[in-house]
Amino acid sequence: MIPSPATTLEVAIEHKVGPNLSLSVEFQLGREIGVLFGQSGAGKSTLLRLIAGLTRPDSGRIVLDGEVLYDSRARHDAPLWRRGIGMIYQDDLLFPHLSVRENIAFGLAGWSRPGAADRVREVAGLCGVERLLDRRPAMLSGGERQRVGLARAVAPGPRLLLCDEPFSALDLGRRSVLITRLIDLHRSQGIPILHVTHSPSEAVALGGTMLMLDQGRITAVGPPIELLAGQRRPSIPWTPLANVFHAVLEGPLADEGGSLLVLEGGLKLVVPGLDKPAGSAVLVQVRADDILLARGAIPGLSARNQLAGIVERVLSHDHEVEVVVRAGGLAFLVSLVAAAARQLEITAGADVVLIIKARSCRVLEEDESTPAPT
Amino acid sequence: MGDLGPFWLSIKVASVATLLDVALGAPLALLLARGRFPGRSLLAGALTLPLVMPPTVLGYVLLILLGRRSLVGGGLEQVFGVSLVFHWSGGALAAGVAAFPLFLIPARSAFEDVDPMLEDAARLLGRRELSVFLRVTLPLARRGLLAGVVLVFARALGDFGATLMVAGDIPGRTQTASLAIYDAVQVGDNARAGGLSLLISVVSIVALMVAQRGDRSPRTAA
């Protein structure tokens, strides 16, 4: 196994999960997003619990930031409260008797009162729950509960964030938003993340390093999009969560009904008319199979967006091809049928134009009960 | 109605019995709910025994245990110079023992209903055991514990047999309301029996209402 340049987490454990499953894993993780991917029953969640310390491994060693958390030979097992690990769960596990504010502040026991209050406001803003602070968990939607759980886990500034299939109960739109939140948090707070999922689309959307877990063993390590390319089955689409971008609303278009967005990297995108003030921050998503590729700009086209880009990589499956196109600093995932890709000679390095109808651009809402963050 | 002494003594006896049961019952309930050790169900069964035993039998066992010539009773008298027998404190102990399962059973199931994953989540957020207990386990088990407190108090308030066996029926010293009501009926003093009955009933009903009110408010001190 290739060690990451700045290793944060080192895991080498053996653990008998049940009569038919034994975990035997060894891996290292840097400060990137690690995606622990596998089918249900592969031992993903157990592995996460072992790293967190919620279950004691049969034998092995776990080191985080140079500190030994567990070492069966030295009979060392750091207590949970001292591990500095944040965790979010499938059943959010919010404290039902505490308000959202108190939930987020729960891990800030040693902080000064004003310091904790500032920190709660800060992470609430990062997770988009600043308007929910006085509510009880019972009054929140599923997406909101997961965002509060994320804020609670991140507030104390953990050395590692473990995510145990936290978004699997949410619909695609909300999952997209939460994944974007998670990636933003990773960037802004610099917290290494280990995220468990069995959803290929979630893995692709999160990017980073994927660890494939099968029958208790890690079978492959690499970028999700590449590892998944080899094993796609027609029944498992893995692109629905891709192509989510931060954007700012510039304003309505003068002539027609559309609105103009400026994407993170500066690209402009025409989308259906939005009922929001100019300057609003939004998330916009374009489905991978709603994007057309051309080898040059096409005049007189009904589609409103033509964005120039360069093909970064091409991943082939039986009849379909997934193409990553870099345009304006952003990576767009495009799916094509294999024949079209051959005909257009789409290969890495090729200049292409992404053609996107305004109607294919979906502006994501965070949740029904709260509008997208502004 | 006359002398209210027995009524106040009943309140005192029931309060002390409740305190005893909570102080002893809460840790035991937690142990039974969370602990995994051999003999757990045996312990649970033994602690529930007062529920199925006749109060007079319980009282009799206590009387033998606490008597001046017994190991426990004799020791208490030598060390502290007190005897629980024929003293209101013995009555409180007897009432407490008789009512004990009524706290233990709801308290145990209240602790069992607290998701251990929530406690783990609290630990991972940097909380130590005492803090996890005070901030998560206890507030979440509150309903069941409160129900147990009310049941114990009401049961101890009305105890007759066990108290009588241990503390006797000494007017002005160990005569509780239940005993006074019985005596009043024996001598045909219906006004006194009725008055005391009414008072005791009112206290029980108020306790129940207080418990239900505490139940409704979802907030606990943060």
What's the pLDDT score for residue A4?
44
Using alpha carbons, list the distances in angstroms from residue A261 to A1, A265, A266. 43, 11, 9
Measured CA to CA, the distance from residue B68 to residue B82 in angstroms comes to 10
* Residue range A83-121, pLDDT digits in tens: 999 999 999 999 999 999 999 999 999 899 999 999 999
For residue B9, being part of any structural domain is answered with yes
What's the pLDDT score for residue A175?
85
Is the confidence at residue A233, as pLDDT, over 80? no
- Its pTM stands at 0.80
- Top-confidence residue, A77 or A371: A77
For residue B222, being part of any structural domain is answered with no
- Name the DSSP letter for residue A198: S
Number of domains comprising chain B: 1
For residue B77, being part of any structural domain is answered with yes
Q: At what angle do helices B5-34 and B88-112 cross, to 10 degrees?
A: 40
Is residue A81 within 8 A of residue A52, CB to CB? The reply is: no
What's the pLDDT score for residue A236?
54
For residue B169, being part of any structural domain is answered with yes
Contact assignment for B140 to A96 by CB distance below 8 Å: yes
For an interface test with B, the pick among A95, A146, A164 (most B C-beta atoms closer than 10 Å) comes out as A95
> Which residues constitute the domain of residue B161?
5-215
* Residue range B39-50, pLDDT digits in tens: 888 998 989 899
**Averaged pLDDT, B93-121:** 93
pLDDT band for position B133 (cuts 50, 70, 90): very high
What's the pLDDT score for residue A232?
56
- The interface residues of chain A toward chain B in range 320-359, judged by CB-CB distance below 8 A, are none
What's the pLDDT score for residue A366?
65
Is the confidence at residue A275, as pLDDT, over 90? no
Is residue B164 within 8 A of residue B158, CB to CB? The reply is: no
Collapsing DSSP to helix, strand or coil, A180 comes out as helix
As for the ipTM of the complex, it is: 0.79
Q: Identify the CA nearest to B113 among candidates B189, B33, B59.
A: B33
Is residue B163 within 8 A of residue B178, CB to CB? The reply is: yes
Measured CA to CA, the distance from residue A30 to residue A208 in angstroms comes to 10
Chain A CB within 8 Å of residue B143 CB: no
Shortest distance between the Cα of B211 and any Cα of chain A, in A, equals: 18
* Residue range A28-79, pLDDT digits in tens: 998 889 999 988 888 899 999 999 999 999 999 999 998 999 999 999 999 9
Is residue A326 within 8 A of residue A312, CB to CB? The reply is: yes
Chain A CB within 8 Å of residue B34 CB: no
* Residue range B55-105, pLDDT digits in tens: 889 888 888 888 777 777 777 777 777 777 788 888 889 899 999 999 999
For an interface test with B, the pick among A97, A123, A163 (most B C-beta atoms closer than 10 Å) comes out as A97
Q: Which of A273-277, B110-114, B214-218 has the highest mean pLDDT?
A: B110-114
For residue B183, being part of any structural domain is answered with yes
What's the pLDDT score for residue A172?
79
Average the pLDDT over each of B28-32, B70-74, B157-161 and give the range with the smallest value. B70-74
For residue B220, being part of any structural domain is answered with no
Q: For residue B139, list chain A residues with Cβ-Cβ distance below 8 A.
A: 97
| Mean pLDDT score of chain B | 87
Is the confidence at residue A240, as pLDDT, over 80? no
DSSP letters of A277-329? -TT-EEEEEE-GGGEEEESS--SS-S-SEEEEEEEEEEEE-SSEEEEEEEETT
pLDDT band for position A6 (cuts 50, 70, 90): confident
**Beta bridge partners of residue A294, listed in sequence order:** A353
Pick from A80, A98, A153: CB nearest B120: A80
pLDDT band for position A371 (cuts 50, 70, 90): very low
pLDDT band for position A162 (cuts 50, 70, 90): very high
Using alpha carbons, list the distances in angstroms from residue B212 to B99, B146, B156. 20, 9, 19
* Domain CATH code at residue B40: 1.10.3720.10
Is the confidence at residue B218, as pLDDT, over 90? no
Collapsing DSSP to helix, strand or coil, A21 comes out as strand
**Averaged pLDDT, A130-139:** 92
For residue B28, being part of any structural domain is answered with yes
Give the angle A13-A16-A17 at the CA atoms, nearest 5°: 110
Is the confidence at residue A254, as pLDDT, over 80? no
**Beta bridge partners of residue A251, listed in sequence order:** A260
Shortest distance between the Cα of A355 and any Cα of chain B, in A, equals: 47
For residue B64, being part of any structural domain is answered with yes
Give the angle A227-A231-A235 at the CA atoms, nearest 5°: 130
